Structures are given as structure tokens and as C-alpha cells.
């Protein structure tokens, strides 16, 4: 197994939303629940001069890691997270595979499509076992999903239970990524069922889009040191940047 995936820190896949400036929050209140267009900054990055601030994890703040026999969970892991893990780890191996992860998340969130599960497995995989994750990875993954869930609920402004192109754009903008609709359209075509209906994302697809867009944008930013919206890659760098995202889909 190539060690390449390990260079991605699981941490970096949380949405890591920057705090909103007060003026932006006021604008949002003024706009109410509408997803109407507003002037977008040019370039992909907004808030670049602000301090980034991690969202608090959705679960597991200051709670004991229960009386479980699993020692691998970080201190403070919420008992629900441990229970979800235990419930699916039927052979008590301390590791779960993609099908088990799918079952565990379905209990805590909703049904996840296997493609998103595989992307999550890839991003959160432990260095010793490419095909399974342990308690530590599971807790990180669960916390990350809690953060994405909060974003999802916040930007589903029409309370449709789905995120459309403009809500996705706004959610990403809120996270500090000004991704043009033309780029989002390419990614959202992945979810086109051919019916001609407007494409909307359930939570699992929203997470998939978010992870891909955040991941690629961060990679671009690493090469765009002066923050001018341009990045120069040599061939090896380009291929080594892009291929892991393709490898993730197994």
C-alpha cells in the first residue's frame, strides 16, 4: 500500500469554518432565508486575513469515554459514538470495515451511499490498515461529520432537507471558499439522475462534495503561496495532488 494517503491529516477534512465577520452575519440576517445572489469576491478564497477557528465538535465535549472495553477512543468521546462503533463491530476486533461504517453512520445520521463511505474511509484511514478504521479514526470521522451536519442544516435555508447549487455555494462561501457556480455545476453533475429535475444533495452527497472541494482547494492553496489565485505545479506535483482523490473511489 502506498503511504501517500497518510500525508492527508484527517483533521483537515473537517469543514474548519472561519468565524463570520459581524458584517457578514448582519447581511445574512438581512437576507433572511433567501438564497439570492450577492456579489461574490473574485478568486476562490475569502476571509483569508482572518483567524481560522475550528467549529466545536458536535459531540464529545468534556464527557468521559464511558465504561466501554474499547481503549482506543480519545478521552471525552461521547458514549453515543462508542455505542455506534460497538454496535457494528460484532467480532469485537476493534476495527470496522466500510459496510460496518455504513451501518454505524446510518444509526447516527442517515443512510450514507457507499461512495461517500469509501471516500471517508480513505480520508480517515489508519496507517496500519487500509481497509478498516479503529476507534480513534471513527471518533474523528464522527466529529467531522457533526461539523458538516451543522453547516448543512444552516444552509438548507428553504428547509427542503436537500442542498441545491446555490445553497452549496453559500455554504462553501460561509466556510471561506468562493467556488464559482460553474465549478460547482461540474461536481453536481455527478448527482444528475437523468430525469431533468434540479440537482439537490442529501447530506451524504453534500459531505462528499464538501470533502472533495475543500480537499482540492486546500491543495491548490498550498501552491498559491501569495494568494493571487494562481498556482504553478510541476508535472509530478500535479499528478500527486490529483491522483489521491481518484484513488479514494475504490
- By the criterion CB under 8 A, which residues form the site for its own copies? 1-2, 4-5, 43-44, 115, 129-131, 179-180, 182-183, 185-190, 192, 194, 212-213, 216-217, 220, 224, 229-236, 238-240, 242-247, 249-250
Q: How far is the CB of 82 from its own copies (least distance, A)?
A: 26
Q: How far is the CB of 218 from its own copies (least distance, A)?
A: 12
128 C-beta neighbours (distance < 10 Å), count: 9
| d(C-alpha 122, C-alpha 111), whole Å | 18
Q: How far is the CB of 78 from its own copies (least distance, A)?
A: 30
Cell digits for 189?
Answer: 453533475
| d(C-alpha 115, C-alpha 102), whole Å | 10
86 vs 164 by CB, closer to its own copies: 164
Contacts of 175 (CB under 8 A, 6+ apart): 15, 16, 17, 18, 151, 214
80 vs 237 by CB, closer to its own copies: 237
Q: How far is the CB of 119 from its own copies (least distance, A)?
A: 10
Quickly tell me which residue has 460553474 as its cell: 182
Of 137, 132, 95, nearest to 10 by C-alpha is: 137
39 vs 62 by CB, closer to its own copies: 39
171 vs 187 by CB, closer to its own copies: 187
Cα atoms found within 13 Å of the Cα of residue 157, Cβ hemisphere only: 17
77 vs 102 by CB, closer to its own copies: 102
Q: How far is the CB of 32 from its own copies (least distance, A)?
A: 30
Cross-strand partners of 129: 126
Amino acid at each position: 500500500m502506498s503511504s501517500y494517503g497518510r500525508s492527508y491529516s484527517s483533521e483537515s477534512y473537517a469543514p474548519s469554518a472561519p468565524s463570520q465577520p459581524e458584517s457578514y452575519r448582519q447581511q445574512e440576517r438581512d437576507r433572511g432565508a433567501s438564497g439570492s445572489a450577492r456579489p461574490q469576491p473574485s478568486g476562490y478564497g475569502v476571509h483569508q486575513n482572518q483567524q481560522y477557528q475550528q467549529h466545536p465538535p458536535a459531540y464529545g465535549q468534556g464527557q468521559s469515554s464511558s465504561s466501554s472495553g474499547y481503549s482506543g477512543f480519545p478521552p471525552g468521546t461521547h458514549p453515543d459514538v462508542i455505542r455506534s462503533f460497538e454496535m457494528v463491530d460484532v467480532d469485537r476486533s476493534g476495527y470496522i470495515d466500510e459496510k460496518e461504517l455504513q451501518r454505524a453512520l446510518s444509526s447516527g445520521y442517515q443512510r450514507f451511499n457507499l461512495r461517500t463511505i469509501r471516500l471517508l474511509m480513505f480520508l480517515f484511514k489508519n496507517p496500519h490498515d487500509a481497509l478498516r478504521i479503529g476507534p480513534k479514526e471513527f471518533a474523528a470521522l464522527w466529529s467531522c461529520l457533526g461539523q458538516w451536519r451543522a453547516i448543512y442544516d444552516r444552509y438548507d435555508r428553504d428547509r427542503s432537507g436537500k442542498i441545491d447549487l446555490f445553497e452549496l455555494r453559500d455554504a462553501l462561501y460561509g466556510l471561506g471558499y468562493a467556488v464559482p457556480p460553474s465549478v460547482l455545476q461540474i461536481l453536481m453533475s455527478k448527482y444528475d439522475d437523468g430525469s431533468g429535475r434540479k440537482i439537490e444533495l442529501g447530506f451524504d452527497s453534500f459531505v462528499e462534495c464538501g470533502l472533495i472541494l475543500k480537499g482540492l482547494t486546500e491543495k491548490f492553496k498550498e501552491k498559491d503561496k501569495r494568494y493571487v489565485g494562481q498556482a504553478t505545479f510541476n508535472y509530478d506535483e500535479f499528478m500527486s495532488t490529483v491522483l489521491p482523490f481518484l484513488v479514494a473511489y475504490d
